[in-house]
Chains A and B, each alone.
Chain A
Amino acid sequence: MNNTTRQPVIAGLGMTELGKVYERTPTQFAVQAVRLAATDAGLNLDDIDGLIVSDGLSGRVGLEMQRALGLTDLNLFTYMQGYGSTAAQMVQYASMAVQSGMAETIAVVWADAPLKENRGGGSAYGAAAASVPSGWQAITATSGILTPNNMYALAARRHMDTYGTTSEQLGAIAVAQRDWAAMNPLAQLRGTITIEDHQTSRMISDPFHLLDCCLVSNGGIALIITSRNRAEQLAQPPVAILGWAQAHPGRTGIRNDNFGLLSGAARSGPAALKMAGVTLDEIDVVELYDCYSFTALITLEDYGFCAKGEGGDFVAQPGVLGPKGSLKVNTGGGQLSSYYMWGMTPLSEAVIQARGQAGQRQVTKHDRVLVSGNGGILDYHSTLVLGTI
């Protein structure tokens, strides 16, 4: 990037309590997260002149946020939604605003509160959560296809049938990420697991066992995006936003559709790396959107860490994943084991690692961090390349 003074950086990170935290609305989580992010950066709320908000499915975090935060005279303010790709998309929009001078200090925030006390996490998402699904959604739901669990299972099954990927190989991802989570005080699940634990965990939607599926969490996470010039005067080590891209396949739902075989990561990854001027072998840390173990596997393939179809063998190969592995992937435990804040899960851990603030799980070399966001059923994809300055 030529104009280093306008280079966008992440200067603040705010994370509320995450997980089984009840009796707060998504907006309340979002407000708290923005306040925490501003404080983390060493800023006051009235230093913020841009605000980008988003949410999960449990309740709207919308344009009431400006008033809730008492922000006036904003130069940028909007709501965005690209499901799991949203968090990285918000950072991309904020980065372009900083580059152009449209806004100087932008808060991006995501929050959700799908968990209800005394109600299982499995009921929090999907058609089952709606009282009466209507239209085409109802027709699909009456077929028994009620949640993303079912659709991602169909994607994973296709990959398994096509390439020979196995459930045990998916389990290797879950086991490795739990090993990372064991060192993350923010993780909801920290007890180590084995492949046998994975294989004997209850079946959710074949081929997915419970341990292939992400957590459900309440909470909010915010970031402060500003220019490098300004960030150098602030409280935290700036995390440079070096490259970004999006890719949204637009599935045809017709013969030759590559559903389950190829994701948007195949285009957005190389594009983001090219923008950053970084090659894949220069990436030190990889923070993937892992709503399911399979999502992490197909993203590793599509980013090019292994050949297409060889993801199963790659992740199960001893010495590749986990804290002692050669590839540092989902170092906080990911959505499978730490917390499920949609795209903010990989993004927050990327910031923590790039800053060098991950404590026991800190990766020694953390100059370049690749972050993925995945939304819908492999429908929407965003990539960020972050780095130290």
Chain B
Amino acid sequence: MAIFPIVSDPATAEFLSAAERGVFLIVRDRHTGEFHDPTTDVTLDPENLEYVEASGAGTVVSWSIAHGRNADGTPKETAIGIVQLAEGPWWRCELLGAEPGENLTGRSVYADFIKTGPDATHSTEPSRESCRLFVGGVVG
């Protein structure tokens, strides 16, 4: 579950608009073909940089279990990670479907999307529950 609902701003509007449609955008350099992570500001170099659709597939580079508490005070453990997208850029996100105690490094994941809040203005975004784990090669 999302920790809090988020609302898009000018920097994230295009990315979140695509996420609303279930599309994961990353940035590509038109001339070199090199991919960059979605936070790269395409407006700084519009001649060269553009948003393109990513496959949504990736591999876990590193992971952690964040220990916190829910609003009611009960303990909460959240699997988080750095995922290397198939195109190369890294993306930081929650990892769903992990078994307690398992080493997630190198595991395959794919992007999933949820709406972060109930209001129309609340964005859908792929970071919160975007990287659902393949467990044993089966889509989680």
Contact = CB atoms under 8 A, between A and B. Distances in A.
Given A142-B2, A161-B62, A254-B35, A202 B67 contact: yes
Nearest to A209: B67
Given A139-B125, A142-B125, A154 B80 contact: yes
A155 B67 contact: no
Interface string B5-18: 01101011000100
B127 A255 contact: no
B63 A154 contact: yes
Contacts of A146: 3, 66, 68
Interface residues of A, number: 36
Nearest to B10: A135
Given A142-B128, A154-B81, A203 B90 contact: no
Nearest to B79: A144
Interface in B3-53: 3-4, 6-7, 9, 11-12, 16, 35-37, 39
A357 B66 CA distance: 41
A299 B78 CA distance: 29
A205 B103 CA distance: 14
A70 interface: no
Nearest to B91: A253
B12 A143 contact: no
Given A143-B127, A254-B88, A257-B90, A134 B65 contact: no
A142 B88 CA distance: 23
Chain A interface SS verdict (over half): mixed
A132 B35 CA distance: 30
A154 B82 contact: yes
A140 interface: yes
B84 A157 contact: no
Given A139-B6, A144-B80, A253 B90 contact: yes
A134 B9 contact: yes
A142 B6 contact: yes
Given A136-B12, A140-B92, A146-B66, A254 B3 contact: no
B105 interface: yes
Contacts of B109: none
5 contacts: A142-B116, A143-B127, A145-B66, A205-B67, A255-B84
Interface of B: 2-4, 6-7, 9, 11-12, 16, 35-37, 39, 61-68, 78, 80-82, 84, 88-90, 92-94, 103, 105, 116, 125, 127-128, 130
Interface of A: 132-136, 138-146, 149-151, 153-155, 157-158, 161, 202-208, 253-255, 257, 259-260
